Amino acid sequence: MKILMVLTSHDKLGNTGHKTGLWLEEFASPYYVFRDAGADITLASPQGGQPPLDPKSSQPDAQTASTRRFDQDTTAQHALANTVKLQDINADDFDALFYPGGHGPLWDLAEDSVSVALIEQFHAQGKPVAAVCHAPAVLRHAKNTSGQPLVMGKQVTGFSNSEEEAVQLTQVVPFLVEEMLKDNGGHYSRGENWQSHVAVDGLLITGQNPASSDATAEAVLKLLK
């Protein structure tokens, strides 16, 4: 069971002067769900090397059992610091594709042609494609084999408008995940703010927010079994 996790390389939060990047919980939780299930995990990013971590995801109130485990895990830290360049990845080598969120993907992975092609290849090959929180942004330009938006007619979720309002970044982000999914013809659903909510439609799996990280990864494993 070989799983590819694709992470952002983008660290600027729009024009605010603040940093962003990968949200640690959304990497650590799925990473351990997969690793504890015996999966062979490869980490990749557009630029390779260490992905930027959103500094807010390292604050005390953002810590979970998985992030604390990561903080003690030099093997996982080394893996994260040495991601493979996305352009060197071959879809044929993997069984599933997973995108952790953070605001970073809104800027780079959403527009990255290599990432889009990878998503389309996994989908065409009948392999699970999963994304959590802001990472469903990566589906923005992805098409199905008929040339329509990949999310068209599918049950999907992602970081909600009300959650973006709660973190006061509605005017900062390049687009709202919820609105993009709806505009592309997705059947968007959501749970309460900050509560776990996952949408599974065939081989497409999306999670709403950081709290959905575990359940999104578990849904991938269920499909692989």
3-state secondary structure at position 68: helix
180 torsion bin: left (phi>0), alpha (psi -120 to 50), beta (else):
alpha
DSSP letters, the chain, are -EEEEE-----B-TTSS-B--B-HHHHHHHHHHHHHTT-EEEEEESS-BPPPBPGGGGSGGG--HHHHHHHT-HHHHHHHHTBEEGGG--GGG-SEEEE--SSHHHHTGGG-HHHHHHHHHHHHTT--EEEETTGGGGGSS-B-TTSSBTTTTSEE--S-HHHHHHTT-TTTSSS-HHHHHHHTT-EE---STTS--EEEETTEEEE-SGGGHHHHHHHHHHHH-
- Condensed to tens digits (0 to 9), the pLDDT of residues 21-34 reads 999 999 999 999 99
Q: Is 211 exposed, middle or buried (0-12, 13-18, 19+ CB in 10 A)?
A: buried
Question: At a CB cut-off of 8 Å and minimum separation 6, what does 39 contact?
Answer: 1, 2, 3, 221
Residue segments in the chain with a per-residue pLDDT below the cut of 70:
none
The enclosing H or E element of 123 equals helix 113-124
Q: Return the pLDDT at 200.
A: 98
All domains in the chain, ordered by first residue:
2-224 (3.40.50.880)
pLDDT the model gives residue 87: 98
- Cβ atoms of 139 and 119 within 8 Å: the answer is yes
> Full-prediction pTM beyond 0.85?
yes
- Entry field: residues in the chain: 225
What is the spatial distance between Cα 66 and Cα 28, in angstroms, rounded to a whole number?
Answer: 6
Q: What is the pLDDT of residue 157?
A: 98
Residue 219's pLDDT is what?
98
- Tell me: the pLDDT tens digits for 192-211? 999 999 999 999 999 999 99
How far is the C-alpha of 69 from the C-alpha of 66, rounded, in Å? 5
**Pair 65, 139: CB distance under 8 Å:** no
Q: Which amino acid is at 212?
A: S
